């Protein structure tokens, strides 16, 4: 017994987890024993193990093996209490052979590979028969593991301690989580990962800091490094390292007295220096500058600098460009201890690859199936329409929320079933009341009615279950979510505008009578824009409507907003008579630093940022100060305006309309003199040329 216990101590974490899972399988099958067949079934549930991929490559799936075992052994009928199962002698023999195999190979711990080789060596169990039937023998297994096993493979004993002291309290081991399969897979980012590994392998200044916008995948790169260490796919210098994410907020929290924070952090750093195989990971590196430094105390960055300079500890940091510039770069001593790795936003193709890698996790979590079209639409629509976030994060958010919505809508009960439930509840209450009043005849009648309704409800539920296939997330579901996020009409997202644009004049004239020339000019420009014959950076169109008051300039803008974006509220109206003074121009983009209202957003930039698909109407443009035209020139030329907070606002999905009364008196005077109908066209051209000369 002592020898068997000592053998258990030699199992790696993965091997021990596999054995524990085999016990769970035996309990689920209600067998009185744990045999080699349960070990094989358990392997096909543990997706993070290398043997899972090996078995899958030979056509072995959980469902296939389960069918074979059910045919041979069947399922048990008695419930076996937890912990009441014994391993068969054959499985004990396999474990002993795995121990001998590991010792023969010079390995310190028994790995899952040793257990599988022992299963094949023993050769008489149910599992060995199934493996042989699928072309897996000892030679094939050894060749596979020899090829895929790397010399630096990291292993841990089951009895290994958690992170010691404060390090365990305020840190989490990412490599351990990677070994347990708790981290999402990291797709791509090979260049950034290689650069991080190169910096970590340096002799001095071996502390990388990942700099990139929020959502581009900085933390994912660190998790990818942890997964590589767990698999042994790293240089020997990093093979036995742990990556411990440090919770700076947790270290600061609860430190009431001076010196408490410093003592906590010093204890953590001492533990790291003693272990010699821990790499610290600080997400949002700028938080260490000033952390814990109240009332003259030393802040976290000052405590970190000496061990970082001497190479006593290694640290990986992440930060956004703005945070890094405002905090870390202001401290040259801290900055020189870190080497920067810039993380750019991935391309559309890379984003789709990332989504395909994560698809299985989200399908499992939500209980849905996600199509390739949905992944492509998520990347494309997120890139095009969600302008205030970055790929791949915004595309992942789209998939996540859409999958949740599809799952919830699939599980909704139909209205008839809800009505039945309400009626059954009402009858139950009436029945209880009748019993309380000792009116047993009425109670029996109500009970019969309730039973009939219950039967009807059960029939409804069976009908729903019969149709209950796995819900599928498709491209149009993604478009619906983007429409909910941005307010953009569905037809616009699904590119069904062609037929609508052909009949654009007729649709506008349903609401706006006359003004044929203006409507034709606007429709031509809109069609050109949607046909792709415009600069993609510029707005959809920029128009100047001239005419006297009341002829329909603003009404045409409203009609255009409703036609293009499905809502009259998509019109952003700015009265330019409010911008007659030079200092009032700053209200469009926000007040500059040092002025009242700096924290408030600009009226134009904020409105467009919150509703990027809109018609922007500058009413009575001639009343505005001339500096307003400088701002509008930038918008019309580049399609981008930077507000006082430094945020870039895109106008490429807007229609700009300016209205003016310039030439209004001229038009009124000319049209009231009474020309004949044959001269109407000539009169119009004459008025147009004179008004345009006045505009200039």
Dump pLDDT digits (tens) for 316-350.
Answer: 988 888 888 888 888 888 888 888 889 898 888 88
* CATH code of the domain in which 402 resides: 1.10.8.60
Last residue of a domain, which of 147, 176, 193? Answer: 147
Average pLDDT over residues 670-686: 50
pLDDT at 153: 46
> What does the mean pLDDT of the chain come to?
77
| Total H helices, total E strands in the chain | 33, 16
Q: Please say whether the beta carbons of 171 and 212 come within 8 A.
A: no
Question: What digits encode the pLDDT tens for the residues 228-257?
Answer: 887 777 888 887 788 888 888 777 777 766
* Range 332-339 contact pairs with CB under 8 angstroms and sequence separation of 24 or more: 333/305, 334/289, 334/301, 334/304, 334/305, 336/205, 337/205, 337/207, 337/305, 337/308, 337/309, 338/205, 338/207, 338/208, 338/209, 338/285, 339/199, 339/202, 339/205, 339/206, 339/207, 339/208, 339/209
**What is the predicted pLDDT for the residue at 655?**
87
Q: Could you tell me if residue 694 is inside a domain?
A: no
Q: Answer yes or no: is 525 within a domain.
A: yes
- Token pair of 632 as six digits: 């509008």
How does pLDDT run across 562-605, given as a tens digit for each residue?
Answer: 887 777 778 888 888 888 888 877 888 887 777 777 777 788 88
- Size (the chain), residues: 696
- Asked whether residue 541 is domain-assigned, the answer is yes
pLDDT for residue 163? 62
Q: Are residues 257 and 379 in the same domain?
A: no
Poorest-pLDDT segment among 120-124, 294-298, 405-409:
294-298
Residue 582's contacts (CB-CB under 8 Å, 6 or more residues apart) are 625, 627
Alpha-carbon distance of 457 to 316, in angstroms, equals: 58
- Bond before 392 cis per omega within 30 degrees: yes
Q: What whole-number distance in Å separates Cα of residue 507 and Cα of residue 42?
A: 64
pLDDT at 48 over 80: no
- CA dist 554 and 657 (Å) reads 9
Closest CA to 227 of 176, 280, 191: 176
Q: In terms of domains, do 502 and 651 share one? A: yes
Other Cβ atoms less than 10 A from the Cβ of 79: the count is 9
> Residue 159 falls within a domain, yes or no?
no
Give me 183's structure tokens.
């981290």
pLDDT digits (tens, 9 = 90+) for 380-393: 888 877 877 888 88
Is the residue at 10 inside a domain? yes
* 501 and 484 both lie in a single domain: no
Residue 386 and residue 456 in one domain:
yes
Domain contains 277: yes
Do residue 241 and residue 334 come from a single domain?
Answer: yes
pLDDT tens for 71-84 read: 777 777 655 555 55
pLDDT at 378 over 60: yes
583 in any annotated domain: yes
Range of the domain at 410: 349-494
Read off the CATH number of the domain in which 589 is found: 3.40.50.300
Q: Where are the alpha helices (DSSP H) in 171-259?
A: 174-179, 190-200, 218-231, 248-252
For residue range 597-628, what is the model confidence (pLDDT) as tens digits? 777 778 888 888 888 888 888 888 888 887 88
Domain end residue (candidates: 342, 372, 399): 342
d(CA 473, CA 517): 46
Q: CA of 463: how far to CAs of 418, 469, 622, in Å? A: 15, 12, 67
Output the pLDDT for position 679.
53
Lowest mean pLDDT among 242-246, 409-413, 536-540: 409-413
Looking at 299, 322, 342, which one is the last position of a domain? 342
Query: Rounded CA gap, 635 and 539, in Å?
Result: 8
Identify whether residues 486 and 507 lie together within a single domain. no
Same domain, 507 and 472: no
Strands 640-642 and 648-650, sheet pairing:
antiparallel
The secondary structure of residue 437, as a DSSP letter, is: T
Separation of alpha carbons 60 and 74, rounded Å: 19
Give the model's confidence band at 158: pLDDT under 50 very low, under 70 low, under 90 confident, else very high. very low
Tell whether 292 is covered by a domain: yes
Examine the domain organization and report whether 228 and 353 are in the same domain: no
Question: Are 642 and 500 contained in the same domain?
Answer: yes
Are the CB atoms for 65 and 130 separated by under 8 Å?
yes
**Does 363 lie in the same domain as 483?**
yes
Say if residue 42's pLDDT is above 80. yes
Q: Could you tell me which residues are beta bridge partners of residue 544? A: 658
Query: Do 214 and 199 have their domain in common?
Result: yes
At residue 527, the pLDDT reads 82
Instruction: Summarize the confidence of residues 247-275 as an average pLDDT.
Output: 78
Residue 457 and residue 488 in one domain: yes
Instruction: Give the Cα separation of 429 and 164 in Å (integer).
Output: 59
pLDDT for 695 beyond 60: no
Question: Phi and psi (nearest 5°) for 244?
Answer: -110, 115
The domain total for the chain is: 4
Q: Dihedral (C-alpha) 317, 318, 322, 327: value to the nearest 10 degrees?
A: -20
Return the CATH number at 115: 1.10.1780.10
């Amino acid at each position: 017994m002592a020898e068997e216990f000592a053998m258990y101590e030699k199992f790696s974490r993965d091997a021990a987890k596999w054995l524990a899972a085999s016990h769970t399988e035996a309990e689920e099958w209600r067998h009185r024993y744990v045999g080699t067949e349960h070990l094989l079934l358990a392997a096909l549930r543990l997706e993070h193990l290398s043997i899972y991929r090996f078995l899958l490559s030979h056509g072995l799936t959980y469902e296939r093996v389960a069918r074979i075992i059910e045919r041979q052994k069947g399922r048990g009928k008695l419930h076996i209490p937890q912990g009441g199962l014994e391993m068969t002698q054959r499985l004990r023999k396999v474990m002993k052979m795995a121990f001998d195999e590991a010792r023969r190979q010079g390995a310190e711990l028994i790995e899952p590979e040793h257990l599988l080789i022992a299963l094949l060596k023993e050769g008489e169990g149910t599992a060995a028969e199934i493996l042989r039937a699928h072309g897996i023998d000892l030679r094939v297994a050894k060749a596979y593991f020899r090829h895929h096993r790397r010399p630096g493979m990291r292993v841990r004993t089951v009895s290994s301690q958690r992170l010691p002291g404060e390090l365990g309290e305020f840190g989490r081991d990412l490599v351990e989580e990677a070994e347990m399969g708790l981290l999402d897979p990291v797709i791509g980012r090979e260049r950034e990962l290689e650069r991080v590994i190169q910096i970590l392998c340096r002799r001095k200044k071996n502390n990388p800091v990942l700099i990139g916008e929020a959502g581009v995948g900085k933390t994912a790169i660190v998790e990818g490094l942890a997964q590589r260490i767990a698999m042994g796919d790293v240089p020997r210098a990093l093979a036995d390292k742990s990556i411990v994410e440090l919770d700076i907020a947790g270290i600061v929290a609860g430190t009431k007295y001076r010196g408490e924070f410093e003592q906590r952090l010093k204890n953590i750093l001492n533990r790291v220096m003693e272990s010699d195989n821990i790499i610290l990971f600080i997400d949002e590196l700028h938080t260490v500058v000033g952390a814990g430094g109240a009332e003259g105390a030393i802040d976290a960055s000052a405590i970190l600098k000496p061990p970082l300079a001497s190479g006593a500890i290694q640290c990986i940091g992440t930060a956004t460009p703005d945070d890094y510039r405002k905090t870390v770069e202001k401290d040259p001593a801290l900055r020189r201890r870190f080497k920067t790795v810039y993380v750019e936003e991935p391309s559309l193709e890379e984003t789709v690859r990332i989504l395909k890698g994560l698809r299985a996790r989200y399908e499992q979590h939500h209980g849905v199936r996600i199509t390739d079209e949905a992944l492509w639409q998520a990347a494309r629509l997120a890139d095009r329409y969600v302008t205030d976030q970055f790929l791949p994060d915004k595309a992942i958010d789209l998939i996540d929320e859409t999958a949740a919505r599809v799952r919830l809508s699939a599980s909704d009960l139909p209205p008839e079933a809800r009505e039945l439930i309400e009626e059954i509840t009402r009858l139950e209450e009436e029945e209880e009341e009748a019993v309380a009043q000792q009116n047993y005849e009425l109670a029996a009648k109500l009970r019969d009615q309730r039973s009939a309704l219950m039967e009807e409800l059960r029939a409804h539920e069976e009908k729903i279950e019969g149709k209950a296939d796995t819900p599928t997330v498709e491209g149009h579901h993604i478009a619906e979510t983007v429409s909910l996020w941005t307010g953009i009409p569905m037809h616009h997202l699904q590119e069904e505008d062609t037929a609508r644009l052909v009949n654009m004049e007729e649709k506008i004239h349903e609401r706006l009578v006359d003004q044929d020339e203006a409507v034709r000019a606007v429709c031509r420009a809109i069609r050109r824009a949607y046909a792709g014959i415009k600069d993609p950076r510029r707005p959809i169109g920029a128009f100047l409507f001239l005419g006297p008051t009341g002829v329909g300039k603003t009404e045409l803008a409203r009609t255009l907003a409703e036609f293009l974006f499905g809502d009259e509220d998509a019109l952003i109206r700015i009265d330019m008579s409010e911008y007659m003074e030079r200092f009032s121009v700053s209200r469009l983009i926000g007040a500059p630093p040092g002025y009242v209202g700096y924290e408030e957003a600009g009226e134009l930039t904020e409105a467009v940022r919150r509703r990027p698909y809109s018609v922007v109407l500058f009413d009575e443009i001639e009343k505005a100060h001339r500096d307003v035209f400088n701002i509008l020139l930038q918008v019309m030329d580049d399609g981008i305006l930077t507000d006082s907070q430094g945020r870039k606002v895109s106008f490429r999905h807007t229609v700009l309309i300016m209205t003016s009364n310039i030439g209004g008196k001229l038009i009124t005077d000319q049209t009231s003199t009474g020309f004949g109908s044959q001269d109407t066209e000539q009169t119009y051209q004459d008025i147009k040329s004179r008004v345009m000369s006045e505009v200039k």
